[in-house]
Chains A and B, each alone.
Chain A
Amino acid sequence: MNPLYFVFGIPLLGGLVLALVGHRNYARDINVAFSAASFLAACVLTAQVIADGPLFALGKQFFIDPLNVFLVTLTAFVGMTTAIFSRPYMRVEQDHGKMTPGRMRLYHSMYQFFAFTMLVALTTNNMGTLWVTMEAATLTTVLLVSVYRTPASLEAAWKYFILCGVGIAQALFGTILLYMAADRVIPDGVDALLWTNLDAVKAHLNPTIISLAFVFLLLGYGTKVGLVPVHNWLPDAHAEGPTPISAVLSGLLLNVALYAVLRCKILTDGALHSHFAGDLMIGFGLLSVSAASLFLFRQKDVKRMFAYSSIEHMGLMTFAFGLGGPIANFAGLLHMTLHSLIKSAIFFSVGHATQKAGTQLMEDIRGLLKVSPTVGWGLMLGSLAILGMPPFGVFASEFLILTTAMRDLPWATPLLLLALGISFGAIFSRVQPMVFGETSVKPLAHPPALVPVFVHLGLGLMLGFYIPPYLNGWYQQAARLIGGQ
């Protein structure tokens, strides 16, 4: 049987099972077990794709190609490590009385459903289903953002619900226009939204319709990527929800949304034979990088600060894919992987740190190193890694993006360098006193799960030195698929 069915069948089953028993003490372990099983299925799928090449499932409704296979594995992997992190984290939240049994059930069940929607969004061949699952991903997480029922969390969740709803509605209009263009070329209308069919006829799609469609699709899915100026929901949702949810929102959901934009860009490039889609993405990317770096300085809440850092990095990737060509696309994909791993590792450390300090305000978190060296080092190394310090991998991907920009778009390079410099100053000057110096934090009742933090950081470090040949092969194939330039 096709391992793809297991990849999203397992989280679906997990969501249903945890809807029944999610409030029990063993639910934490069940959550980890389902996430691990789904990661295992993703590994089997990957092995099969390496052996047999791209595959289809359920007619042609689902497909795996070099672009989505590595994202599926990454999503399942971070889903698993976040579930491991969430075990002790949510236990402490329960002890603090923030989570009741009913809320725990909601949390566990929605965690699995969220993984399910992302995995379907990544593997579906149907642009309509892609839209449906992107909206479903919002719906599964929106109640988790407000799970603490504080005024701030309710506000964040309402903003998330309305803004992402409106944003994604624009993407639906874009999808309708895409279908309209396809309808004129593909006679049998039922399969006209299948991406592989569209890709085959993309040169014949009507350019006027497609360019308008891409504007709406970019605005719509861009809302979920967190591109400035449609980013307002992102810092709130990341800061107010439980930390495991911040980690998966930042590390995974943003990637999936960018993946949707990339699929649309490939079609648009094929139809227009111009750099229209790339130019739009370059514009939004640059705006996001620069605006986010300025916002970074004004943050007081540690999770909000790293949420703005996510906007910055998503902007950088959008910029790289906008440039197009084999090197920039390769760098974009590498950056996507590294950002997922490192940003989730940062959120894991930040989660434990905020629990120990009892606050998310950075000025009240001091001297983590004295109480728990591992959390302190996790946060310090994670911040250095995300800021692009060698030898971490982000240095390599940012270096590639900057050198390509220097060649193709010289005027953008100083802007990018300035933005990266500002964010370095902003983040490093805040993290340094949080980690070193006199302490204000208390130890916790349950030992934190720090293995995921260091596994992620270790992978981030490894990718700076050495990219395994299989991964390298995928990146290059996917970079060719995205094309551009």
Chain B
Amino acid sequence: MSALISQLINLFASVILLLAFAMLSQRRIINLIHLYTWQGLAVVGSTTVVAYVTHQPHLYYSAALTLLLKVLLIPYFLHRLINRLNVRWDIETLFNIPTLMIIGIILVIFAFNVALPISRFSDTIAHGTLGIALACILLSFLMMITRAKAVPQVIGFLSMENALFLAATSATYGMPMVVELGIALDVLVGILISGVFMFQIREQFDSLDIRHLEKLKED
């Protein structure tokens, strides 16, 4: 039974990693939001399984909170945002997707090597997924660096938050409830502020291209 459960947890974690790769190479904004929603759902799935096995009630709460926030509320907000900004069908030009994938793979190997000596100290059932979580953090980071538009950058940021949540479940069965609520509040306020920003940026530059935001340099 426990072997099956831990395989299930690993399966969810690998789905999250695959989705992180998919986001890295996805050019359509609308599809990025879909991928983000699916990633949130996979996080909910993995958390629920861990909660079921360990009978930790607070993990059920945080799974419910994640479902509400990352599968329903934030994607709804993002859909509204891209509708009002009229960028629903925007396609971004991404250079050299194969190179990006190879850098991603190197990051994954690096993350596994960093996490390996640590994860064996963890007693949790999901300790094997710590490496995957760290890999997802680095992949989201890579995605944010390579994007030139505001909305994909924010989605990269949100995906990093998903990965951090996965790391918390796999290392320690989740952070204390107070902290988790605080983090959720920060994410919610952060996404609202980024929405305000996007309107300000577009009003000023008539586009959401971050390349306009590279004037402040040392000369």
Given contacts A146-B197, A149-B204, A179-B172, contact A155 B178 (CB under 8 A): no
Interface residue stretch chosen among B9-17, B41-49, B94-102, B206-214: B206-214
Chain A residues 258 to 284 lying within 8 A of chain B, measured CB to CB, are none
Interface residues contributed by chain B, number (CB under 8 Å) = 48
Q: Which residues of the partner chain B approach A295 to less than 8 Å between Cβ atoms?
A: 218
Closest residue to B184 on the A side, CB-wise?
A132
Q: Which residues of the partner chain A approach B22 to less than 8 Å between Cβ atoms?
A: none
A183 within 8 A of B: yes
Q: Which residues of the partner chain B approach A169 to less than 8 Å between Cβ atoms?
A: 137, 157, 160-161, 164
Measured in the bound complex, the distance between the Cα atoms of B141 and A298 in whole Å is 30
Interface residue stretch chosen among A206-214, A336-344, A419-427, A438-446: A206-214
Q: Which residues of the partner chain A approach B176 to less than 8 Å between Cβ atoms?
A: 126, 128, 189-190, 192-193
Measured in the bound complex, the distance between the Cα atoms of B218 and A298 in whole Å is 7
Q: Which residues of the partner chain B approach A158 to less than 8 Å between Cβ atoms?
A: 150, 197, 201, 210, 213
Q: Decide if B118 touches A212 in the complex (CB within 8 Å).
A: yes
From residue A378, how far is it (CB to closest CB) to chain B in Å? 27
Q: Decide if A176 touches B183 in the complex (CB within 8 Å).
A: no
Interface residue stretch chosen among B27-35, B68-76, B79-87, B188-196: B188-196
Q: Which residues of the partner chain A approach B168 to less than 8 Å between Cβ atoms?
A: 176, 179
From residue B178, how far is it (CB to closest CB) to chain A in Å? 7
Q: Which residues of the partner chain A approach B122 to less than 8 Å between Cβ atoms?
A: 180
For A136, A143, A162, which residue has the most chain B Cβ atoms within 10 angstroms?
Answer: A162
Chain A residues 175 to 232 lying within 8 A of chain B, measured CB to CB, are 175-177, 179-181, 183-184, 189-190, 192-193, 206, 208-209, 212
Q: Decide if B144 touches A162 in the complex (CB within 8 Å).
A: yes
Closest residue to A169 on the B side, CB-wise?
B160
A471 within 8 A of B: no
Q: Decide if B117 touches A208 in the complex (CB within 8 Å).
A: yes
Q: Which residues of the partner chain A approach B218 to less than 8 Å between Cβ atoms?
A: 295, 298
Q: Which residues of the partner chain B approach A165 to less than 8 Å between Cβ atoms?
A: 157, 190
Q: Which residues of the partner chain A approach B172 to less than 8 Å between Cβ atoms?
A: 176, 179-180, 183, 189
- Interface of B: prevailing SS: helix
Closest residue to B161 on the A side, CB-wise?
A169
Given contacts A169-B161, A176-B167, A189-B176, contact A154 B213 (CB under 8 A): yes
Q: Which residues of the partner chain B approach A161 to less than 8 Å between Cβ atoms?
A: 190, 193-194, 197
Q: Which residues of the partner chain A approach B186 to less than 8 Å between Cβ atoms?
A: 132, 135-136, 139
- Interface of A: prevailing SS: helix
Q: Decide if A166 touches B144 in the complex (CB within 8 Å).
A: yes
Given contacts A128-B175, A143-B196, contact A298 B157 (CB under 8 A): no
Measured in the bound complex, the distance between the Cα atoms of B180 and A193 in whole Å is 12
Q: Decide if B160 touches A166 in the complex (CB within 8 Å).
A: yes
Given contacts A166-B141, A179-B172, contact A172 B164 (CB under 8 A): yes
Q: Decide if A179 touches B200 in the complex (CB within 8 Å).
A: no
From B157, B161, B193, A139 is in contact (CB under 8 Å) with B193
From B121, B157, B213, A184 is in contact (CB under 8 Å) with B121
Over the window 359-401 of chain A, the binary record of Cβ atoms lying under 8 Å from chain B Cβ atoms (1 yes, 0 no) is: 0000000000000000000000000000000000000000000
Measured in the bound complex, the distance between the Cα atoms of B171 and A146 in whole Å is 38
For A179, A184, A295, which residue has the most chain B Cβ atoms within 10 angstroms?
Answer: A179
A430 within 8 A of B: no
B114 within 8 A of A: yes
Closest residue to A165 on the B side, CB-wise?
B157
Given contacts A158-B213, A165-B157, contact A176 B200 (CB under 8 A): no
Q: Decide if A173 touches B167 in the complex (CB within 8 Å).
A: yes
9 further A-B contacts with Cβ under 8 Å, apart from A61-B178, A162-B157, A177-B171, are: A126-B179, A129-B178, A132-B182, A136-B189, A139-B190, A151-B204, A169-B161, A172-B164, A192-B176
Q: Which residues of B contact A (CB under 8 A)?
A: 114, 117-118, 121-123, 134, 137, 141, 144, 150, 153, 157, 160-161, 164, 167-168, 171-173, 175-176, 178-179, 182-183, 185-186, 189-190, 193-194, 196-197, 200-201, 203-205, 210, 212-216, 218-219
